Amino acid sequence: MELEKIKKKMRSGPVLFSEYKLGEGVKKALQLGRENILFELKDSGLKGRGGAGFPTATKWMLSGASLSDKKFIVCNADEGEPGTFKDRVLLLEYPELVFEGMIIGGYTIGAKEGILYLRGEYEYILKSLEDFLEMLRKDKLLGNNILGNENFSFNITIRLGSGAYVCGEETALIESLEGYRGEPRNRPPYPVNTGYLGHPTVVNNVETLASVPHIILKGGEWFKKHGTDKSTGSKLFSVSGDCDKPGVYELPWGTSIAELLKVVEAKNTKAVQVGGASGICLPKSQFNRVLGYEDAATGGSIIVFNESRNMLKVLKNFMEFFVEESCGQCTPCRIGNIKLLEAIEKIENNDFTFSYINNLKELGRTMQLASKCGLGQSSPNSFISILENFKDEIFGLNGKGKNNG
């Protein structure tokens, strides 16, 4: 089946999927002025939606305070985490929110240029996005003197990636934009000071930017009403795997995994992978945990496994992914992931000792500490959590025999 034609599905949700009229966010932002925008944003408690959860207002303030004649807003649409597809939905169905978020960001920090870094796999969305930008230019929401404001001009260009998961890491993304291999940089300096071409740069996730127009329009106080104290607002969850209704759902932070499973009509669920391949795998006994930065953090990826799945096979798929996608720059990640994959193969062949497995878990913890970027720091998560939470199944300690299923 070919991808369904771009159309607005009937979606509803508390924030992102609530009603919105094109241009309202930018209009309100220009009335409010920079200080008030930052105030509302800080008040809202919005944190980065890509997974790391850095406060957006702080990022904008830091780059706003940097002295430079040139600044950039970069929208990170390099959505590559296994099981994540919310950005695809936002870009196809709600491009106005994403672009207006970029425009508001540009106005706030004093940037004149925005870049949307679209992953190569999403090239088929490019045309509709460019058409949309053209429409924004006609509506005076983009280009010179936006909405007649003489002091504010802003433009957006779209750049394509070429199939590299690591480019979702913000400094790797900047390297890629600059025409280099997508290898993460040391931090500090942070992109808010020294980013694209050495200029202050804000890199925000698609969903983070898409939340901004709503916050500007309805206020930080309103946004805070949703979610929990530490995780304000709502989140888009991309749900896939063994459930009757996979798809993108907007739910407030603080929703428990059991509640989410009910919404997507999952049956006989054995495990849930929260946060994609770089996230953690939770067994049934932990389905009461809640989704949020303070408990089960996620960039939105939820993969559901039912009783018939072999968790060792799942883990192998994840580790193969990391071995392929490691950029190879730092040793813990380049070699470590290969060693973890080797261990899985040895378990498959029943050719291992428990002290060896324990050593490798220790190696995983070393990788979490010693890797240069988020990829290597998080790739051992699934290795450690699956081997610990499903040891009965994998090592056959419950008498059922190993690798059943």
Task: Kindly state the smallest distance separating residue 43's Cβ from another protein, in Å.
Answer: 33
Residues 132-171 within binding reach of another protein (CB under 8 A): 159-165
DSSP category for residue 297: -
Q: Does residue 3 interact with another protein by CB under 8 A? A: yes
Phi, psi (deg, nearest 5) at residue 252: -65, 150
Residue 120 CA to residue 159 CA, distance in Å, equals 9
Query: Is 244 a binder of another protein (CB under 8 A)?
Result: no
N- to C-terminal Cα separation, the chain: 30
Residue selected from 181, 262, 267, 400 as contacting another protein according to rule CB under 8 A = 181
CA distance 210 to 132: 15
Residue 227 as a binder of another protein (CB under 8 A): the answer is no
Residue 176 as a binder of another protein (CB under 8 A): the answer is yes
Q: Is 177 in the site for another protein (CB under 8 A)?
A: yes
Which of 65, 124, 130, 138 binds another protein (CB under 8 A)? It is 124
Residue by residue, DSSP assigns 234-284 as EEEEEEEESSSS-EEEEEETT-BHHHHHHHTT--SEEEEEESGGGSEEEEG
Among 7, 21, 69, 179, binds another protein (CB under 8 A): 179
> Of 309-368, which residues contact another protein (CB under 8 A)?
309, 314, 317-318, 320-321, 324-325, 327
Taking the complex as a whole, the smallest distance from the CB of residue 30 to another protein amounts, in Å, to 30
Contact 364, 383 (CB under 8 A): yes
By CB under 8 A, tell whether 203 contacts another protein: no
180 binds another protein (CB under 8 A): yes
75 alpha carbon, distance to own chain's centre? 11
Cα-based torsion angle of the residue sequence 94, 97, 98, 101 in order, rounded to the nearest 10 degrees: 180
Residues at the interface with another protein (CB under 8 A): 1-3, 79-85, 87-88, 119-124, 159-165, 176-183, 197, 238-242, 246-248, 273, 277, 303, 305, 309, 314, 317-318, 320-321, 324-325, 327
